[in-house]
Structure 1
Amino acid sequence: MYKLNFNADVFANREASGVGVVIHNMKGEVMVALSTKGSIVGDSEEAKALACRKALEFAMDAGFLDLIIEGGNVIVMQSIFSTQPNLSWLGLVYKDICCILASLQYVYFSCVCHSANLIAHSLACYASQIDNEIVWMEEWPPPTFEALFLDSSFLNE
């Protein structure tokens, strides 16, 4: 079982967004992490829905099929599991997410507060400084050392 955290940041002045993803094992050790630029988005919900889709695609590509997925946007999390069809302009993104979820062996979603998602947030913000996607395997991503320290201190409480 692995925990996947994702987040997005909107760079208004750069006409782009950033996506941050981190997958931990149950000991809190980083298995894989991602920082990448996303497309221009209209609002936070769109950025986070697209980040969720990217995070799930990344997890599948890396071979993680048993996931506890944590994100910080209540609307996105509720939309994914709504039994009602989503007729908004993000409906197709949510449909894509549901298709990816069907490929997982185990999935549990949880909406978490900002302080529980600091690593993914740091990676999303870091995307403003890069041009290409960066992936870290079994190592702490340098842009998140402070957030990783804070996150690990929560694990020890």
Structure 2
Amino acid sequence: MAGIGVVIRDSEGVVIAALSDRIILPPSVEDVEAMACRWAMHFALEIGIRDVVFEWDSEVIFKHLTSDSDCLAAFGNLVDDSRRAAANFISCSFSHVKRKGNAVADNLAKLAKHSIAPQIWLEDIYSDATNLVIADRSFC
């Protein structure tokens, strides 16, 4: 099993929503990252977020999302779905961050591996992640 962690912040870096879910382990890390990308975009749309900047610590996924070329990788269908979802936002851009600047999402992904059901937080995140949220904000 693998996990996906998504954190949605406002323009001040305050967490407004988070998602943690367990998935069947895909063939590669890039597949997991592409799935997380798609889930993040659909989650943001579901909760009504329309002006977004998506931050990824996967340079591979970032490059595919921002490329004008078709994604011919095995996870290309996930990237294409994310590109289509991006058209539903008023404003949508992508940014690459270092791994330690994405610690909360990584921690949520690790938590998900041991969860039975998806977990969603709105306006608050589980207490064990509070220190990570504070540290993570310095990279926003």
TM-score by length of 1: 0.83
**Offset of residue 149 of structure 1:** 2.7
Please list the CA deviations of residues 104-134 of structure 1 after superposition, one character each: whole Å capped at 9, or x if unmatched. 1101100100121111111111101201000
Higher strand share: 1
Q: Which residue of 1 aligns with 2:55?
A: 70
Whether the 8 Å CA contact 1:126–1:143 is kept in 2: the answer is no
**Offset of residue 25 of structure 1:** 1.0
| Structure 1 moving runs of 4+ over 3 Å | none
Please list the CA deviations of residues 67-88 of structure 1 after superposition, one character each: whole Å capped at 9, or x if unmatched. 0110100111111122222222
Q: Which residue of 1 aligns with 2:106?
A: 121
Find the residue that maps to 2:113 and give its secondary structure: helix
Find the residue that maps to 2:68 and give its secondary structure: coil
TM-score by length of 2: 0.93
Higher relative contact order (CA 8 A, sep 6+): 2
**Offset of residue 145 of structure 1:** 2.1
Aligned partner (choices 32, 35, 39) of residue 47 of structure 1? 32
Q: Which residue of 1 aligns with 2:88?
A: 103
Identity, % of aligned pairs? 27
**Offset of residue 46 of structure 1:** 0.6
Q: Note the aligned Cα RMSD (angstroms).
A: 1.3
Find the residue that maps to 1:130 and give its secondary structure: coil
Deviates more, 1:23-32 or 1:104-113: 23-32
| Pairing 1:57–2:57 present | no
